[in-house]
Amino acid sequence: MSHAEREREPHHADRTPGYDEPIDRHEALGGLAAYLIGLGLATLLTIVAFFIARTTLVWQPSIPVALSVLAIAQMGVHLVFFLHITTGPDNVNNIMALAFGVLIVFLVIVGSLWIMAHMSHNMMPMDQIMQMQR
């Protein structure tokens, strides 16, 4: 948008990004195809996770690891195909927000585990609790 156009429209900053950029049919079909690919991958990963959890064909101790890997893959599919978070230069803020969210979740999980471990360690033995109740 040129300087003259901005002066004619005082509220040009109030428009959504991409307002003056019409989307052609080919671009719209490409976006729809990306969503359908994401839907297919997410569905496939979900079906595989249910299969691994219910089958006896997989070595039992490896099931939690396999489900964790599938969950991380599922998150990746959602981030790329549905939230459109990529490593491009225009997505730096999205990546920083995602990293901050992951940090907060990590802190909550680690803090909860730390509190539970120390609570268990600092609790009174059961025989002393039983004596107090008499």
Show me where the domains of the chain are located: 1-84, 87-134
pLDDT at residue 16, rounded to an integer: 58
* pLDDT band, very low/low/confident/very high, at 12 (cuts 50, 70, 90): low
Q: 69: number of CA atoms within 13 Å, CB side?
A: 8
Question: Could you read off the pLDDT of 74-132 as tens digits, one per residue?
Answer: 999 998 898 888 877 877 888 888 889 899 999 999 999 999 888 866 777 777 777 88
Task: Give the residue among 76, 84, 73, 16 at the shortest CA–CA distance from 49.
Answer: 73
State both tokens at 117: 């471990």
Question: Could you read off the pLDDT of 20-38 as tens digits, one per residue?
Answer: 666 777 777 778 888 999 9
Question: Could you read off the pLDDT of 30-83 as tens digits, one per residue?
Answer: 788 889 999 999 999 999 999 999 998 889 999 999 999 999 999 999 988 988
pTM of the predicted model over 0.75: no
> Is the pLDDT confidence value at 8 over 60?
no
- Rounded-to-integer distance, Cα 94 and Cα 87, Å: 9
Whole-angstrom CA distances from 11 to 3, 43, 64 are 13, 43, 54
